[in-house]
Structure 1
Amino acid sequence: MNLSVELDRSSPVPLYYQLAQAIEGAIRTGELAPGDRFENELALAKRLSLSRPTTRRAIQEVVDKGLLVRKRGVGTQVVQNPVHRRVELTSLFDDLARTGKSPTTDLLEYRVCNADDDVAAELNLGADREVVAIRRLRRAEGEPLALMANYLPVEIAPDADELESAGLYQSLRSRGVNIRLARQRIGARSATKPEAKLLGERAGAPLLTMARTAFDDSGRAVEFGSHCYRASRYYFDTTLFNR
């Protein structure tokens, strides 16, 4: 399939990046579907009046994101579209719903307990304060995607049944709690056997991790979350600026 691409040669944005974004956009919107053969690199370069190195670099950008795969004797093909998420102050449920990924939630645990030292420090609570501990499995279009553990002060925590039909931040907003600021750490580690079983991965498979402490309009810490995501189906997307 020949992809329709408009390049702005007067833009300071590199041509390879413009082309990579166009290819990625076509895959994410379904214009290019999983299994589709992608246009030959040489033919694409000639059609768009680009150099082969520029075209090759653009395609490699999309290959590196897991959206295209090169197969010897077959060429380049579109593969299953992984979930990508911009590093913004949003919830996974809201992000998936906004992109049409049909999020669902399995509530694995919901209990009231005393905050341990780490959670108390993150939420700026006394060690004897009670919190609601929540553990969920988030699916996208029925496929396991992430395991999420969250801790909230008892007085603002949503009810258990709410968390099976709505996102945590959505439930907090309905209670008048608006997330204004968050401190976030992104990392990686290997999946434990229980995690791998829930996520449909092998034990030791790579997981992306995110720990986030969220604050409301008054600066009060209202939620601490520790999440892990399947690296084979998920990645974070950032845009960097030079100041």
Structure 2
Amino acid sequence: MTLSPITAPELRGIAHGFFTRQGGISKGLYADLNCGPGSGDDPGAVAENRDRVAAHLGAAALVSLHQIHSADVISVTEPWGSDRPKADAMVTDQPGIALGVLTADCAPILFADREAGVIGATHAGWKGAISGVAEATLDAMERLGAARARIVAMIGPTISQRAYEVGPEFVERFLDDDPDHARFFAGGTDGRAQFDLPGFLLARMRAAGVAEAGWTGHCTYSDAARFYSYRRATHRGEPDYGRLVSAIML
């Protein structure tokens, strides 16, 4: 099976892809295109899967991070090896380096300022989102010469609101930050609520002044054939899960 990444018309002219789980060589829980070195998958299979992604993009190298649910951003000037920096976003103005973020329900965000020749890739779970990882990525892109009024930001497959049930302490954390955040929660069952992660991120990026922000509309939890999902694996009692990669390159 060939790779079948989702692409965004808004990022046309920039090599990118929100890669699905299709087209790799991993087996079992990790079938097929698991690109997560931090999983329990065979390291050789993960390496081959990542090589396939790099080849699909025509990249000299695919880099990813040791993600820690932070608002930390790395400016990439050259590829690194297996010793991945701890952060949750990357920016670069260097051609040929594919910036890849790994997700399995969290939101991958790909950024581009075509005119400046600056791109970014961000991993945003709820902790990173409320800590401002998207805004920190925009700041880092501007330091490389981008202008947020030209930046396009696209969210890829992530957990949708209908699948993201949270407890009252989660809601309180967001309302303590800003009572207006109540609009990103819908009523759930047994005193729980459902959180709109992509909606929250879109609102933050639009408020930050990007030229355009969108979401591909794909829910990782509800489509097991195409996407890995941490929450779905947990609900099924599975011991581990694969990681999707979303990547962008100049």
Q: Same fold (TM over 0.5)?
A: no
**TM-score (normalised: structure 1):** 0.24
**TM-score (normalised: structure 2):** 0.24
* Greater strand proportion: 1
More relative contact order, 1 or 2 (CA 8 Å, 6+ apart): 2
